[in-house]
Structure 1
């Protein structure tokens, strides 16, 4: 199974469309700040989709977070703003552990990150539309789930 993980599209879909075409995912995880474009994202996805609410998703009834089993792992999806991720991931990691997750995906900072802390994998795909890291290249993450249920992560820059 192949999963495309994106965040912070902010109503700008060109790079999302390109990423979907390149990756041909079996699932898509959107980590918030689609700004009311869930219907568009769902229409172009052509696969199961999980979307969480970001700080710019005003009036949305999307969930603030989703926790689910993926392969042999428990994964938490969140935008991250409720966990003050602009100041580090300590609160995020603690919340993910409390929910039984060993992998957490978040957005909000627009800066890509793949790190490992103790028994937790922490992943931010960056922003596919408005990147903020040095070089400001749009980015996303591809997750491949192998037959044994292990997850393999690839951070892609456009």
Structure 2
């Protein structure tokens, strides 16, 4: 099972379309996860043309997106429970807010966004993934997203690239 994880696309705004590098992976994905801050349904439509899309809303998403996606959710893929949340808020770090969102719930993986800082690491027995952003790298040198493979093994790789075109 190949899952492309992206978020903080901010379309329109930071981009008007998805970067070619992200599209390459979406074309061969079984599932696409989005961590919120789509900004409009255009990003949903673009991603949905490649694979099934599941996601959450973020702090810049319009009302229409709030009717399509929850603030957080847990999905199951190949026996692994994946918690998805944007991670915005006012207290603590984005990562800590994401972890607390699923406190007391059984999840194997927590996927979050908001900070635009890519992360793939374990905390205790939970894999934490933040894909960064494919359209707004802020002060980082590269745009990014994550490819997660779940088979007998779990593999997560941050894909860094130079151009949001």
TM-score range for the pair, normalised by the shorter chain length: 0.7 to 0.9
Give runs of aligned pairs for residues 1-158 of structure 1, distance below 5 A.
Answer: 1-11=1-11, 12=15, 13-15=17-19, 17-23=20-26, 24-36=28-40, 37-45=42-50, 47-59=51-63, 60-61=66-67, 62-82=69-89, 84=91, 87-135=93-141, 137-146=142-151, 148=152, 150-158=153-161
Q: Distance between the aligned counterparts of 2:91 and 2:46, measured in 1?
A: 26
TM-fit CA distance, 1:33: 0.9
Change over 3 Å in CA distance of 1:51–1:97 after alignment to 2: same
Change over 3 Å in CA distance of 1:92–1:22 after alignment to 2: closer
Instruction: State the TM-score, normalizing by the size of structure 1.
Output: 0.85
Gapped runs of 5+ residues in structure 2?
A: none
Q: Distance between the aligned counterparts of 2:36 and 2:114, measured in 1?
A: 8
Q: Deviations over 1:17-76 (max 9, x none)?
A: 53122452111001111111254234432x211021011102122211120112232110
Q: Deviations over 1:78-126 (max 9, x none)?
A: 11114856x2523322332422112100000011011211111111000
Gapped runs of 5+ residues in structure 1?
A: none
How many equivalent pairs are there? 152
Instruction: State the TM-score, normalizing by the size of structure 2.
Output: 0.82
CA RMSD of aligned residues (A): 2.0
